[in-house]
A = this chain, B = another copy of it.
Amino acid sequence: MRSEDIAKLAGVSRSTVSRVINNYPNVPEETRVKVLKVIEEHHYEPNSFARALAGKRTDTIGLFAISLSGKNIGNRIYQNNYFAPFVEAVVDTANAKGFYVLIHTVYSREDFQKIKQAFMQKRIDGGILVGIQEDIEIVRELSDLNAPLVIIDYDITEILAERLDKGHLAVINSKDYDGTVAAIEHLIALGHQEIGIVCGEQNTYSGKERYTAYLDTMRKHELTVKDSFVLNGHFSKQRAATEMRKLLASKELPTAIFASNDDMALSIIEVLHEHGIRVPEQIAVIGFDDIDLASRTVPKLSSVKLPLYEMSKAAVQKIIDMVGTSEPSFSTLSLPTELVLRESSGSKR
């Protein structure tokens, strides 16, 4: 069934059918009703490719989940407690607004070609990038495509420095700095002085921010940061566990540890338990992200809540806004985090 068939049945031309479908104002109510009736009766759906080819939107948003460090086989992306809720929220929001979501995973630098392809083949109206590491080359390439692009978790200063702010670009972050400060200051308020950190990927905006905030806060309160208390966990459970075991082998231990994500926090708590060290009595722990699991572990994990849902929602909205206008624009949004206290951080000592 094509628009031509509908036209014949309704006794009008294809032009008019098209006008009705696209809600053109200059169609008399009577004609509109007549045409709509035929469309309904025959369950007609305009061919999306023909529409797109004729210049209409595709009503599809690309969602690109990037996981360059995850080389392991099998459940790679979604085993990560960060991506899954993201994907869900984006799909939900986009669906609710009448958009489809085209998903593609990026495991290697070559895979970025797939993103470019999706744009160049005009498959999508715009794209959302999540999980990207600092790599201004790629951002430049993608933004040069001049299609609506939203990047989650990226350093804006870098984009400004490179003058990439004149395409259809938006960056959406969370206030990880503030969240980390809140976590560290809470530990300090509880009386902790020897506070360690398990860092995330340092070529990641959130990884850097969380580390910097830790450093700044310690300095502000005139607490010394022991080198041995700074563990490189790379946002990975395994690496965090390994580092923690190394630390345990040495003499000195901190009295509190801030982990740059919950996966690592949970992982080091496990290691601590293996060694008979009680959390929070002997070592207090605070994580970051506030994943689902955080409230169901023993002890329940204190964590800084990432506004994942709000971020995804904002990302979709941004794409849609940008699709709607041809004006180039660069915008930025930074959503607040929140310290959620449970058991692992303990109380006043």
Which residues of A pack against B, CB within 8 Å? 43, 45-50, 52-53, 58, 60, 74-79, 84-85, 87-89, 91-92, 95, 100-105, 114, 117-118, 120-123, 270, 292-293, 296, 298, 309
Decide if B47 touches A53 in the complex (CB within 8 Å). yes
Decide if A309 touches B101 in the complex (CB within 8 Å). no
Decide if B45 touches A120 in the complex (CB within 8 Å). yes
Inter-chain CA distance A270–B143, complex, in Å, is 49
Decide if B74 touches A309 in the complex (CB within 8 Å). yes
Residues of B within 8 A of A60 (CB): 102, 123
A–B complex contacts, Cβ < 8 Å, 23 sampled: A45-B117, A47-B53, A48-B49, A48-B121, A48-B122, A49-B52, A49-B58, A49-B121, A49-B122, A53-B53, A74-B309, A75-B88, A75-B292, A76-B88, A78-B87, A87-B87, A87-B103, A88-B105, A91-B103, A100-B104, A101-B102, A102-B102, A103-B103
Inter-chain CA distance A58–B87, complex, in Å, is 23
Inter-chain CA distance A320–B28, complex, in Å, is 46
- Nearest CB in chain B: distance from A98 CB, A: 9
Residues of B within 8 A of A95 (CB): 104-105, 114
Partner of A47, one of B85, B105, B122, B298: B122
Residues of B within 8 A of A84 (CB): 78, 84
- Between A49, A105, A118, the greatest number of chain B beta carbons within 10 A of the residue's beta carbon is seen for A49
Residues of B within 8 A of A102 (CB): 60, 100-103
Decide if A121 touches B45 in the complex (CB within 8 Å). yes
Residues of B within 8 A of A100 (CB): 102-104, 118, 123
- Nearest CB in chain B: distance from A161 CB, A: 26
Partner of A75, one of B53, B85, B101, B120: B85
Inter-chain CA distance A47–B329, complex, in Å, is 26
Inter-chain CA distance A76–B292, complex, in Å, is 12
